[in-house]
Amino acid sequence: MKLMTSTKPATIAVSALIALGALTACGTGEADAAAGTGTTTSQEAAAADEAQTPSDVLASTAWETTGATDASGADVPLDDENVRDFVGWAYFKADGTFTMYTLDDAPKMQGDWTVDEEGTTRHIVAKDDAGEVLFERDSDIVTLTDEEFTYRVFPEEGNTDVYYDIVHTPTDHAEPAAS
């Protein structure tokens, strides 16, 4: 960087403003965060997203079934016999437990859940009120972001050509009270 040697006041003032602008543009966002302005850089946002595991994402909100598609990508009505058992409200808690309800707030199932580190498979262990295992199921995760959770179901065991993707989006629907 070449230093300016002119002593003209206007040149010095312009040079100072340019330097100040360059320094401001090179900020890391830390000063903004410390000042409480809420400004973050894209690097900081990416680091925050990377810090969230797939399990963190699933447990971060309540989910509502808002759609379903078939293997060709066509929309499937939520009351279709192939998807209706997967429709409802889902609450995945950070302690590894879950509860699910129908869209009419009737209890559907409860139990334990996990998501693999890659975010490609969700495992649930459904349990009765006494804690006895009713069934276990692995589901392929198609999408898992803070805006969408979609998993795939195969109605015919061993046939991966026929499937349905069950689409969930975040909801602020309060978990129904236990009865």
Question: What is the percent of the chain where pLDDT is above 70?
Answer: 71
CATH architecture of 54-171: Beta Barrel (2.40)
What whole-number distance in Å separates Cα of residue 100 and Cα of residue 110? 6
Of 2-6, 39-43, 79-83, 109-113, the poorest mean pLDDT is in 2-6
Residue 141 has pLDDT above 50, yes or no: yes
Q: How far is C-alpha 51 from the geometric centre of its chain's CA atoms? A: 13
Q: Which helix (H) or strand (E) holds 46?
A: helix 42-51
* More confident position, 100 or 42: 100
pLDDT at 21: 43
Model pTM? 0.71
Average pLDDT for residues 16-25, to the nearest whole number?
Answer: 40
What whole-number distance in Å separates Cα of residue 175 and Cα of residue 105? 8
Residue 44 has pLDDT above 50, yes or no: yes
* Domain edges within the chain: 9-51, 54-171
Question: What is the percent of the chain where pLDDT is above 90?
Answer: 69
